[in-house]
Chain A
Amino acid sequence: MNRFDSMFSRLEGERRGAFVPFVVLGHPDLEASGRALDLLARSGADAIEVGLPFSDPIADGPTIQRATTRALAKGATPSRCFEVVARFRSSHPDVPLGLLTYANLVVRPGVDAFYAAAGRAGIDAVLVADVPHREARPFAEAAKSAGVAPVLLAPADAPAAALEAIATLGEAFTYVLARRGVTGVRSELHLDHARTFDALAKLGAPPPLMGFGISEPSHVRAALTAGARGVIVGSKCVAILDREADEETRLAELGRYVASMKAET
Chain B
Amino acid sequence: MSFDGRFGEFGGAFVPELLQPALDALDAAFREASRSETFTRELEGLLATWAGRPTPLTKLRRLDVGGARIYLKREDLLHGGAHKTNQVVAQALLAMKMGKTRLIAETGAGQHGVATAMVGAMFGLSVRIYMGAVDVARQRPNVDRMRLFGAEVVAVDSGTARLRDAVNEALRDWAESYPDTHYVLGTAAGPHPYPSLVRAFQRVIGREAKAQFLEAEGALPDVVVACVGGGSNAIGLFADFIEEPGVELVGAEAGGRGSKVGDHAASITRGTLGVLHGTRTLLLQDEEGQVAATHSISAGLDYPAVGPEHAHLAATGRARYVAVDDQAALDAFRKLARFEGILPALESSHAVAAALAIAAERQGARLLVGLSGRGDKDLATVMAADASTEGSR
Contact = CB atoms under 8 A, between A and B. Distances in A.
A166 B17 contact: yes
B239 interface: no
Contact of B175 (A77, A131, A180): A180
A79 B289 CA distance: 11
A204 interface: no
Interface stretch (B7-15, B79-87, B218-226, B383-391): B7-15
A78 B289 contact: yes
Interface string B273-292: 11111101001010111110
Contact of B17 (A60, A77, A107, A162): A162
B288 to A, nearest CB: 5
Interface stretch (B30-38, B42-50, B66-74, B164-172): B164-172
A107 B164 contact: no
Contact of A180 (B176, B278, B280, B285): B176
Interface string A58-90: 111100010001001000011100000000000
A36 to B, nearest CB: 22
Interface string B156-184: 00110000110010011001101100000
Contact of B172 (A106, A153, A162, A182): A182
B274 A153 contact: no
A55 B276 CA distance: 10
Nearest to A61: B172
Given A77-B290, A132-B13, A132-B19, 17 more contacts: A54-B289, A55-B159, A56-B276, A60-B172, A72-B290, A78-B288, A79-B288, A105-B288, A108-B289, A130-B16, A132-B16, A133-B17, A135-B13, A155-B17, A158-B17, A177-B18, A182-B175
Q: How large is the interface on A (under 10, 10 to 19, 20 to 34, 35 or more residues)?
A: 35 or more
Interface string B1-28: 0000000000011111111110000000
Contacts of B274: 104, 107-108
A65 B289 CA distance: 17
Given A56-B168, A103-B14, A181-B176, A132 B288 contact: no
The binding surface of chain A is classed by DSSP as loop
Given A54-B289, A54-B290, A104-B289, A134 B20 contact: yes
A56 B159 CA distance: 8
A109 interface: yes
B175 A59 contact: yes
13 contacts: A56-B168, A69-B158, A102-B275, A104-B274, A104-B291, A105-B288, A107-B273, A108-B274, A130-B16, A132-B15, A132-B16, A153-B16, A154-B17
A157 interface: yes
Given A104-B274, A180-B178, A77 B16 contact: no
The binding surface of chain B is classed by DSSP as mixed
Q: How large is the interface on B (under 10, 10 to 19, 20 to 34, 35 or more residues)?
A: 35 or more
Interface in A117-143: 129-135
A93 interface: no
Nearest to A179: B176
A13 interface: no
B35 to A, nearest CB: 23
B185 to A, nearest CB: 13
Given A58-B16, A182-B172, A158 B21 contact: yes
Nearest to A66: B158
A56 to B, nearest CB: 5
Given A107-B280, A108-B274, A56 B18 contact: no
Contacts of B273: 107-108
Given A104-B276, A107-B280, A180-B176, A55 B290 contact: yes
B21 A157 contact: yes
B164 A58 contact: no
A159 B289 contact: no
Contacts of A77: 288, 290
A135 B23 CA distance: 14
Contact of B14 (A54, A57, A131): A131
A265 B28 CA distance: 43
A172 interface: no
Interface in B246-304: 272-278, 280, 283, 285, 287-291
Contact of A153 (B12, B17, B278, B287): B17
The 9 closest A-B pairs by CB, nearest first: A108-B289, A181-B176, A103-B275, A132-B17, A105-B289, A55-B290, A153-B17, A58-B171, A155-B18
Interface string A30-68: 000000000000000000000000111111110001000
Interface in A169-184: 177, 180-182
A99 interface: no
Contacts of B159: 55-56, 69
Nearest to A180: B176
Contacts of A56: 159, 164-165, 168, 276-277, 291
A54 B274 CA distance: 13
A108 to B, nearest CB: 3
A152 interface: yes
A180 B177 CA distance: 8
A65 B158 contact: yes
Contact of A55 (B171, B278, B291): B291
